[in-house]
Amino acid sequence: MHEEQFNAMRQSIVDGAPEHASELASKALELGIAPLEAINKGFVPGLTHIGEQFRLGEVFLPDLVMAGEAMKAAVAVLEPEMQKRGTQREILGKVVLGTVKGDIHEIGKTLVSTLLSASGFQVFDLGVDVPVERFAEKAREVQADIVGVSALLTTTMQGQKSVVEALDRHGLRPKVKVIVGGAPVTRDWAEKIGADGYGQDAMAAVAIARSLLHK
């Protein structure tokens, strides 16, 4: 049933075509396909495929990012119908993210932000040179599940520790998880400062964020 339809949905994700994906989502509803089925049989396989292709070096980062955007567009169309039916779309969680005070390296942080968001997390990107307290305040404000702190300098790495401490002070831990990353950061360092996870690269950051939230 609907094989052709599912294939087209899959392809819209692979092509990274948000408009086409949302059209196909509407069409699916017209055809009476259950929204969760549309997601799981149509769109998700596209995302899985492109993720694998990226790991193999066959597709480039912007392909991956646009696949995530197409996915979001499709889900946005299907969401109201899901709510009507009482079926839950998987919400992955809220992440507050930034490069720590004193550090202006933004590229790695932005990639992490983009991939988290493309994977279905809601990301609050605070930018670079972010004061320690700001991470805690924002986490409280948006009821974040995860705070992500990027640092590219051995000097500013210390700020990752301060963010962990600030979250402690604000009584936000252990509910709010902390992940850290950046060129000088290691797994040992993450453990030492009491962070919950470390990402060697942006893909790993997404994986660790998922696993911390058991998603």
Partner 1 sequence: MNSVWARLTQEQCRQLHNASLEILERTGVRLFNDEALALVREAGAKVTDGNRVRFPARLVDQALSTAPKSVTLHDRMGRPVMPLEGANTFFGPGSDCLNIIDHRTGERRRPVLQDVVEATRVCDALKEMSFVMSMFLPADVPQDIADRYQFQAMLHNTIKPIVFVTYETAGCVDAIAMAEAVAGGADALRERPFVACYINVTTGLLHNADALEKLLFLAGAGLPALYIPVVSGGTTGPVTMAGGLALSNAGVLVGLVISQLKREGAPVVIPGFGGDALDLRTMVDPYCGPDPRGMAQALAHFYQLPMFSLGGASESKLVDQQASIEAALDMLINALCGGHIMHDCGYLESGLTGSLTQLAICNEVVSWIRHACQPVEISAETLALDVIDQVGPDGQFLKLPHTRRHMRERWYPILFDRDNYNGWLAKGGGRTLAERAAEQVSQILASHQCEPLGPAVAEAVRRIVLRAEAQLGREPLAPASGGSYA
List of residues contacting ligand B1M (CB under 6 A): 102-109, 111-112, 148-150, 152-155, 179-184, 199, 201-202, 205
d(CA 162, CA 2): 53
Regarding 155 and contact with partner 1 (CB under 8 A), the answer is: yes
Pairing outcome for strands 146-150 and 197-199: unpaired
- Based on CB atoms, which residue is closest to ligand B1M, 19 or 201? 201
Q: Which of the 8 DSSP states describes residue 15?
A: T
d(CA 125, CA 137): 13
d(CA 60, CA 166): 37
Q: Which of the 8 DSSP states describes residue 100?
A: B
- Based on CB atoms, which residue is closest to partner 1, 171 or 184? 184
Minimum CB distance to partner 1, residue 173 (Å): 25
- For residue 204, the tally of other CB atoms under 10 A from its CB is 16
- Based on CB atoms, which residue is closest to partner 1, 28 or 149? 149
Please select the residue that binds partner 1; options are 107, 169, 174, 211, rule is CB under 8 A. 107
3 state SS of 59: coil
- Based on CB atoms, which residue is closest to ligand B1M, 48 or 154? 154
The mark string for 3-42 relative to partner 1 (x by CB under 8 A, - otherwise) is ----------------------------------------
Cβ burial of 5 (10 Å; 0-12, 13-18, 19+) is middle
Q: Which of residues 184-213 bind partner 1 (CB under 8 A)?
A: 184, 201-202
**Residue 205's binding partner out of partner 1, ligand B1M, none, with CB under 5 to 8 Å set by partner kind:** ligand B1M
Each as own residue / partner, the long-range contacts of residues 157-162 (CB below 8 Å, 24 or more positions apart, any chain) are 157/182, 157/184, 157/185, 157/189, 159/100, 159/101, 159/102, 159/103, 159/132, 160/100, 160/185, 160/189, 160/193, 160/195, 161/193, 162/100, 162/132
**Residue 54's binding partner out of partner 1, ligand B1M, none, with CB under 5 to 8 Å set by partner kind:** partner 1
- Based on CB atoms, which residue is closest to ligand B1M, 77 or 146? 146
Which residues sit at the interface with partner 1, rule CB under 8 A? 54, 57, 60-62, 104, 106-108, 110-111, 153-155, 158, 183-184, 201-202
